[in-house]
Chains A and B, each alone.
Chain A
Amino acid sequence: MDKEIMRFDKVTKRFGSKTALNDIDISIERGRIVGLLGPNGSGKTTFIKLANGLLHPDSGTIHIDDRLPGPETRAVVSYLPDRMYFADWMKVKDLAGMFEDFYSDFSRQKARDMMDKLGIDEKDRIKNMSKGTKEKLQLILVMSREAKLYLLDEPIGGVDPAARDFILKTIITNYSPESTVIISTHLIADVEKVLDEVVLLKEGQIIRRENVDRLREEEGRSVDQLFREMFAQG
Chain B
Amino acid sequence: MTFKLIKYEWKAMIRAMLPIYAATLALAVVNGLAINNEFFTRAESMLQGTFLESLIAIFQAMLLVVYICLLAGLCIMTFIVTVQRFYKGLLRDEGYLMFTLPVSVSQLTFSRAFVAVIIMFLSGVVGFFAIGLLAGMDFLRALIMLPAEIASAISRAVASGELSPGLAVHAGLYTIELIVMFLLGCFEGVYGFYAAMALGQLSRNHKVAMSVVWYIVLGIVETTLMWSLIFIMSGPAVIVFSSSILDNAIISLHVFLIVMNIITLLLLAAKVLITNVVLSRRLNLE
* Contact B12 A74, beta carbon cutoff 8 Å: no
Chain B nearest CB from A70 CB (Å) reads 8
Quick one: which of A49, A87, A102 contacts B4, CB cutoff 8 A?
Answer: A102
Quick one: which of A52, A77, A94, A103 contacts B11, CB cutoff 8 A?
Answer: A94
Asked whether B93 is an interface residue with its Cβ less than 8 Å from the other chain, the reply is yes
Q: Which residue of B lies closest to A71 (CB)?
A: B102
* Contact B102 A74, beta carbon cutoff 8 Å: yes
* Contact B102 A83, beta carbon cutoff 8 Å: no
Chain B nearest CB from A134 CB (Å) reads 11
Asked whether A56 is an interface residue with its Cβ less than 8 Å from the other chain, the reply is yes
Q: Taking A87-B12, A94-B11, A102-B101 as contacts, is the C-beta distance between A81 and B281 under 8 angstroms?
A: no
Q: Which residue of B lies closest to A104 (CB)?
A: B102
* Contact B283 A85, beta carbon cutoff 8 Å: no
B81-106: which have CB < 8 Å to A?
Answer: 89, 93-97, 99-104
Q: Which residues of B contact A54 (CB under 8 A)?
A: 96, 99-100, 283, 285
Q: Which residues of A contact B204 (CB under 8 A)?
A: 15-16
Interface size on B, residues (CB 8 A): 24
In the complex, per-residue mask of B101-121: 1 if CB is within 8 Å of any chain A CB, else 0: 111100000000000000000
Asked whether A118 is an interface residue with its Cβ less than 8 Å from the other chain, the reply is no
Q: Which residues of B contact A72 (CB under 8 A)?
A: 102
* Contact A83 B283, beta carbon cutoff 8 Å: no
Asked whether A89 is an interface residue with its Cβ less than 8 Å from the other chain, the reply is yes
- In Å, the complex CA distance between A85 and B91 comes to 11
Q: Which residue of B lies closest to A98 (CB)?
A: B8
* Contact B93 A74, beta carbon cutoff 8 Å: no
* Contact A52 B100, beta carbon cutoff 8 Å: yes
Chain B nearest CB from A87 CB (Å) reads 6
Q: Which residues of B contact A56 (CB under 8 A)?
A: 281-282
Q: Taking A54-B96, A84-B93, A101-B4 as contacts, is the C-beta distance between A89 and B283 under 8 angstroms?
A: no
- In Å, the complex CA distance between A85 and B97 comes to 6
Q: Which residue of B lies closest to A87 (CB)?
A: B94
Chain A nearest CB from B19 CB (Å) reads 13
Q: Which residues of B contact A85 (CB under 8 A)?
A: 93-97
* Contact A71 B283, beta carbon cutoff 8 Å: no
Asked whether A53 is an interface residue with its Cβ less than 8 Å from the other chain, the reply is yes
Q: Which residue of A lies closest to B107 (CB)?
A: A71
- In Å, the complex CA distance between A71 and B89 comes to 18
* Contact A71 B104, beta carbon cutoff 8 Å: yes
Q: Which residue of A lies closest to B7 (CB)?
A: A101
- In Å, the complex CA distance between A89 and B96 comes to 17
Q: Which residues of B contact A103 (CB under 8 A)?
A: 102
Q: Taking A85-B94, A87-B89, A102-B4 as contacts, is the C-beta distance between A74 and B11 under 8 angstroms?
A: no
Known: A85-B95, A87-B94. 7 other contacts (CB 8 A): A16-B204, A54-B283, A81-B96, A83-B96, A101-B4, A101-B7, A102-B103
Interface set of A (CB-CB < 8 Å, partner B): 15-16, 49, 52-56, 70-72, 74-75, 77, 79, 81, 83-87, 89, 94, 98, 101-103
List 8 A-B residue pairs with CB atoms under 8 Å apart, sorted by A's residue number.
A71-B102, A72-B102, A74-B102, A79-B96, A83-B96, A86-B97, A89-B12, A101-B4
